[in-house]
Structure 1
Amino acid sequence: MNKLIPVALCLLTTAGYAQNNAKKAIPFAEKQTDLMLKAIPAAIAASTKPNAVSPRTLSTTGELVMIPSKDWVSGFFPGELWYLYEYTHNNKWLTAAKAYTTNIEPEQFDKGTHDVGFKIYCSVGNGYRLTKDAHYKEVIIQAAKTLSTRFNPIVGCIKSWDNRKNWPFPVIIDNMMNLELLFEATKLSGDSTFHKIAVSHANTTMKNHFRPDYSSYHVIDYDPQTGAVLHKQTHQGYADSSAWARGQGWGLYGYTLCYRETRNKAYLQQAEAIAKFIFSHPNLPKDKVPYWDFNAPDIPNAPRDASAAALMASAMYELSTYSSNGKQYKKTADDIMNSLSKRYQAKPGESKGFILLHSTGHKPANSEIDVPISYADYYYLEALLRQNRLANGQSVIVQ
């Protein structure tokens, strides 16, 4: 082992060396992504959706499903291209990343969704991080302004969805992921308003979204006039009282990034408590790739969710660098990555270029069950890069 690797990093390794799945997984991802880029033009031509620009999943007949930029998933594929460029420094990925990111930029003005954070930050945000292009900077700031219009200071949160008959002001746990855009916008603009909104949202969510065991509800509905909690329910989970797997991952990742941006120890403690719930749960499979819901009634025959596992692994790599439990957190993330790399990857040259199989999108709606999904690939690549940086004695986060 390189003697220059810091002692602190050695504590985060297993068996005296740092695990690094990237050396094999990234070349595989490159070949798969080449395949996908070749398949996209025909898929766009065949798409029934106008202005389709990004791949999302496979249809039940195995065809590539393309989506418009307004879809909440649209920014993940450009983000994957940025990650491939970051690891390889190959300009072909830079060219592709720029082209597919351009397709998402109109979303900086979409005031009708909280997902502007997902769409813009995963694409344009990574583009700015790696190129420092002034144009990307302006897009990020504008997107943060747009997202901020959905903030209600009485509630203390950003509204997730509009036009929901039974929910006047729904806030979903997924919304924690959009706070990264706001934190970045304050750093880029000097306007502290974005940071304050993010902190308010994180604090209110921490107060109302979590149960005593630190599992999370999916949806909290508020009275927009008083800020009172009206409903605690689910939309994508098994039941209102259950722990939807990807939702637990959103919370874990969200509070980890909030600690990074604020150094508020309450957020670190929240992330650690969520991690304890997830990884000590009796229904977590041995390979640490969760069932779509920790309380699904048909466990062990319930569908898995590789996207939740990839998301959790990426969060755990970052959390490992902040926590006194870092050694165990990194081992857990490594275990997940071994499982995903060995048993959840697509066969080479198949699945229209997707990297991971066996994700679950929206089980209650019988939608995207046991399929590849672009956000699974995005967080898998992100986790690979984070693991690689730790293996090389570098900071897990590159800003």
Structure 2
Amino acid sequence: MSEQYVKAIEEVLSKVEKNIITYEEQFPHTSNDKVYELNPNDNWTNGFWVGILWQVYEYSGNLLFKHSADEKTDQMINRLDQNRDLDTHDIGFLYIPSTGAKWQLEKDIEAKSKTIAAADRLMQRYREHIGIIQAWGPPNDPEQGGRIIIDCLMNIPLLFWASEVTNDNKYREAAIAFADTARRYLVRGDDSTYHTFYFDQETGQPIRGATQQGYSDGSTWTRGQAWAIYGFALAYRYTKNRLYLETSLRTAKYFINQLPDNLIAHWDFDVPLDKNIKPDSSASAIAACGFHELLDWLDKNSKEYKLLYSTLVKSMDTLISEYATEEGSQGFIDHGSYSVREGKSPDDYVIWGDYFYLEALLRLETNKRGYWYETN
């Protein structure tokens, strides 16, 4: 056991206990001036708070955390039943760490059925004739109808999981189609990534790469690169397609090669360097989980294993020593960015950063893997 990791986890537990009282029926999203903005379960990020609750309960056995996790999961079920604010590709982010977590930990049949229902909801965004999962907007939307986003690589584990538990191959086929499309069009020749890509929604003809939150269309938004590392590693776990493993490793090495001296990513790898450049601690927390996932499949004596392991440990050391917040803070780590480009919480707490920071700590200390796949 690592005293450093245990201490960091215990600090998270203390903050979660206080946050449960503060947040009450609402959900944290991003912060301004170190105070989380709360919403009534209408955002794409709400599953991360539920996942935090399940993780701290799994680690500690504290029934206070279980009670809160159950309550929040019930709210997620109500949202699904009412089909409210679900016109998004982020269904995996919403339901893997909530109903999916409850199923894995409690073997609750309703949680399982609702997680399958969430996969069905995500399948409504699958455009089979061109092999994409539409990121935003309604079907046939003139602007968004043929658009994909790299974040969705972390949502397709919901489809892989649903295929395994239902023995229905349609979910797996959709997930593979998206992963293949993402690999071909979102990953560039130098192993950097586009944030989004446009296709003709009628013919599937590729149009152009673009960004929503990065510095420019041709730049590398670091959180997107982190989604690629972790998402392709998870796709490999589900399929054993070595192309996904190779792609995950290539994007990981690109990420590592672009890092500054403290190994915490800037918000975009191509933004002009100056003293005011903002980091994105959430990108490094996500990448840390992806590095850890990749280690399962690499030879421990290989250069790649040693590179990933060294970067994982050193970057987590920096997150703990320089980015972890003080006692009494709502967020777990500071200096995350939602969207610097759009001026949305450019340097503050972000709930997914907190979630993946905790997941990375638990991976390193207990080998718990979050809820992206079943481990028992």
Same fold flag (TM > 0.5): yes
- Structure 2 letter corresponding to 1:66: L
Distance 1:20 1:139 in 2: 38
**1:321 alignment partner in structure 2:** 296
**1:309 alignment partner in structure 2:** 284
**2:257 alignment partner in structure 1:** 280
Shift of 1:57: 2.5
Shift of 1:318: 1.0
Distance 1:106 1:306 in 2: 32
- Structure 2 letter corresponding to 1:268: L
Distance 1:20 1:182 in 2: 37
Distance 1:253 1:264 in 2: 15
**2:6 alignment partner in structure 1:** 23
**1:210 alignment partner in structure 2:** 187
**5 Å matches for 1:361-376?**
361-376=338-353
Q: Does 1:94 align with 2:66?
A: yes
TM-score normalised by structure 1 residue count: 0.87
Query: Equivalent residue of 1:125, what SS?
Result: helix
**1:349 alignment partner in structure 2:** 328
- Structure 2 letter corresponding to 1:346: T
Distance 1:390 1:72 in 2: 27
Once the two structures are superposed, residues 33-70 of structure 1 have per-residue CA deviations (whole angstroms, 9 ceiling, x without a partner) of 112112224xx6xxxxxxxx21112234x443112323
Query: Equivalent residue of 2:338, what SS?
Result: strand
Q: Kindly indicate whether the alpha-carbon contact (under 8 Å) linking 1:81 and 1:96 is maintained by their aligned counterparts in 2.
A: yes
Distance 1:155 1:21 in 2: 48
**1:172 alignment partner in structure 2:** 149
The verdict on how the C-alpha distance between 1:54 and 1:183 changes in structure 2, with shifts beyond 3 A counting, is same
Once the two structures are superposed, residues 19-41 of structure 1 have per-residue CA deviations (whole angstroms, 9 ceiling, x without a partner) of 56431111100111112112224
Once the two structures are superposed, residues 293-339 of structure 1 have per-residue CA deviations (whole angstroms, 9 ceiling, x without a partner) of 00112445311001101000011111111123323322211111101
Q: Give the number of equivalent residue pairs.
A: 363
Once the two structures are superposed, residues 132-179 of structure 1 have per-residue CA deviations (whole angstroms, 9 ceiling, x without a partner) of 111110011101111111111122011001166544311010011101
Query: Equivalent residue of 1:231, what SS?
Result: strand
Aligned sequence identity (%): 31
Q: Does 1:67 align with 2:42?
A: no
Q: 1:125 aligns with which of 100, 109, 113?
A: 100
**1:112 alignment partner in structure 2:** 87
Distance 1:221 1:327 in 2: 37
Query: Equivalent residue of 1:212, what SS?
Result: coil
Q: Kindly indicate whether the alpha-carbon contact (under 8 Å) linking 1:249 and 1:312 is maintained by their aligned counterparts in 2.
A: yes
Q: Does 1:340 align with 2:313?
A: no
Distance 1:160 1:25 in 2: 35
Provide the alpha-carbon RMSD of the alignment. 1.9
Distance 1:69 1:346 in 2: 25
Distance 2:367 2:118 in 1: 31
Q: Kindly indicate whether the alpha-carbon contact (under 8 Å) linking 2:162 and 2:171 is maintained by their aligned counterparts in 1.
A: yes
Q: Kindly indicate whether the alpha-carbon contact (under 8 Å) linking 2:291 and 2:312 is maintained by their aligned counterparts in 1.
A: yes
Q: Kindly indicate whether the alpha-carbon contact (under 8 Å) linking 2:36 and 2:349 is maintained by their aligned counterparts in 1.
A: no
Distance 1:32 1:329 in 2: 30
Distance 2:145 2:167 in 1: 33
Q: 1:55 aligns with which of 17, 28, 37?
A: 28
Query: Equivalent residue of 1:368, what SS?
Result: coil
Q: Kindly indicate whether the alpha-carbon contact (under 8 Å) linking 2:222 and 2:269 is maintained by their aligned counterparts in 1.
A: yes
In structure 1, runs of 5+ residues without a counterpart are 1-17, 45-52
Q: Kindly indicate whether the alpha-carbon contact (under 8 Å) linking 2:103 and 2:111 is maintained by their aligned counterparts in 1.
A: yes
Q: Kindly indicate whether the alpha-carbon contact (under 8 Å) linking 1:21 and 1:337 is maintained by their aligned counterparts in 2.
A: no
Query: Equivalent residue of 1:56, what SS?
Result: strand
Q: Does 1:39 align with 2:25?
A: no
Distance 2:71 2:203 in 1: 45
Q: 2:248 aligns with which of 271, 292, 298?
A: 271
Segment of structure 1 superposing worse, 200-209 or 299-308: 299-308
Q: Does 1:187 align with 2:170?
A: no
Shift of 1:286: 1.5
Distance 1:68 1:335 in 2: 37
TM-score normalised by structure 2 residue count: 0.92
In structure 2, runs of 5+ residues without a counterpart are none
